[in-house]
Structure 1
Amino acid sequence: MRQIVLDTETTGLSAETGDRIIEIGCVELVSRKLTGNNKHFYLNPGRDSHEDALKVHGISNEFLRDKPKFAQVADELLDYLQDAEIIIHNAAFDVGFLNKELELIGRPAFRSFVGSITDTLAMAKEMYPGKRNSLDALCDRLGVDNSGRTLHGALLDAELLADVYINLTRGQDALLIDLSPSDTVAGITTQVDLRQFTLPVLLASDQEHEAHEAVLQQLDKASGGKTLWRLFSAAEAAKPVA
């Protein structure tokens, strides 16, 4: 499965009032692994960035003067993105700007070129209700090194988001060992029968129970009292003892 993690930088916050894209960064994942087949464009937006936007991305108006217009890179970008799953943090923002750029050159909406769009901000809000879910906050929470991010940059942010996405969606895959052909000897893969091991049962401490209850209370508040874990626990408790 081919996935592209995408990020943009813009002259401001509103595509509808004339703000434009000045940078696009794309990072390719195939089977959840970085391939190095990335794309990066700086673009001449035909207007200056707002002062507040300059403080965020630090890309000067002078630097962008000799860069290509969006129309000049559109075909290369769309060919690269064709039919892939596109992963974006706060997708509505970036897709809104991409739609406007495409509209200005007479092209169909962004979604018509790609397979699907996944919004990692929506994913994070569902997984961590009531918490900060900015890219920096998720990097801190998931152990992704963002120490080099002093300013926003589309390619750097896409690279960080790729790591964040892999961590957000890891689940049980983290417990599996991925053996490639180079990890085998003469084509033989060693398998371990786990039935020979006796695993101890570690019960949660009182402090861990309290922490778990605090998380459930947060979920109760966010879901309006519809936390699935509580419903499941109640159903299990109601079952007759055999």
Structure 2
Amino acid sequence: MRQIVLDTETTGLEPEQGHRVVEMACVEILNRQVTKRHLHLYMNPDRDSDPEALRVHGLTTKFLSDKPRFPEVAQQLVDFVRDAEVIIHNAAFDVKFLNAELRRAKLPPFTELCGKVTDSLMVAREMFPGKRNNLDALCERFGISNAHRTLHGALLDSELLGEVWLAMTRGQDSLLDDGADDSASGAGAGAAGAQGRFDASGLPIIQVDAQALQAHEAYLDGLDKAGGKPCLWRQIDAPPAEAGGAAV
């Protein structure tokens, strides 16, 4: 499964007011492992950033003046996200900007270029209702260091969101570590295959002592009393003759 974590920085809040994307980053996750493949681009927006936006990302007009414009790099984005699930925090914001830029480049809307878009903010709100769910809060909640995040940057934020996403969606993929490794590398048949190869012959055999047996019998007596009849455990363990006699 190929996933892309994406983030953008912009000159302001509304593309309808002429605001543009100035930075874009995509980080690849393949089989729940962050790979070394990423796409990171700065773009010349042909305008100044609003003061509030500039305080967030710190990308000055002078710094961006010699960078390519979005149509010049749009195909790189198209090729990188093609058919993948794209994970974006507050996806509605980024997607409306990307759609505006793609229209200028005479390309289809973003959702037609990738496999699907998943909003990690919406997922976080379902998991942690009533709590702060911005990227900083999620990093703190999952113990992910973001001390180096003094300004918002698309690449850094994508890398942090990738770690947060894996922590948010982490499940018990396999009871055995080697099963998870095989699945990630594509070398094995996954958790089921790993369990099928497991050899239990080397496990120690622990004998039950008389005190433990006595405690077990006392526990079963309590179950019998509560249920008004022998518990299922004793019915299963009953000798065939005894079980047959009881049925007559």
- Same fold? TM cut 0.5: yes
Aligned to 2:117: 117
CA distance in 2, matches of 1:174, 1:55: 45
Aligned length: 197
CA radius of gyration, larger in: 2
Aligned to 2:134: 134
TM-score w.r.t. the length of structure 1 is 0.75
1:123-154 residue CA offsets vs partner (Å, 9 max, x unmatched) = 00000000000000000001111111000000
Measured on the aligned residues, the alpha-carbon RMSD in Å equals 2.7
2:79 matches 1:79: yes
Secondary structure (helix, strand or coil) at the match of 1:156 reads helix
2:181 matches 1:179: yes
Secondary structure (helix, strand or coil) at the match of 1:148 reads coil
Change over 3 Å in CA distance of 1:31–1:75 after alignment to 2:
same
Change over 3 Å in CA distance of 1:70–1:31 after alignment to 2:
same
> What is the deviation of 1:175?
5.9
Aligned to 1:57: 57
Change over 3 Å in CA distance of 1:174–1:140 after alignment to 2:
farther
Aligned to 2:94: 94
CA distance in 2, matches of 1:65, 1:197: 73
CA distance in 1, matches of 2:83, 2:129: 31
Unaligned 5+ residue runs, structure 2?
A: 186-193, 208-226, 232-248
CA distance in 2, matches of 1:114, 1:150: 31
Question: What is the identity, as a one-letter code, of the residue corresponding to 2:134?
Answer: S
Q: Percent identity?
A: 53
> What is the deviation of 1:159?
0.2
Aligned to 2:198: 191
2:74–2:105 contact (8 Å) kept in structure 1: no
Change over 3 Å in CA distance of 1:49–1:127 after alignment to 2:
same
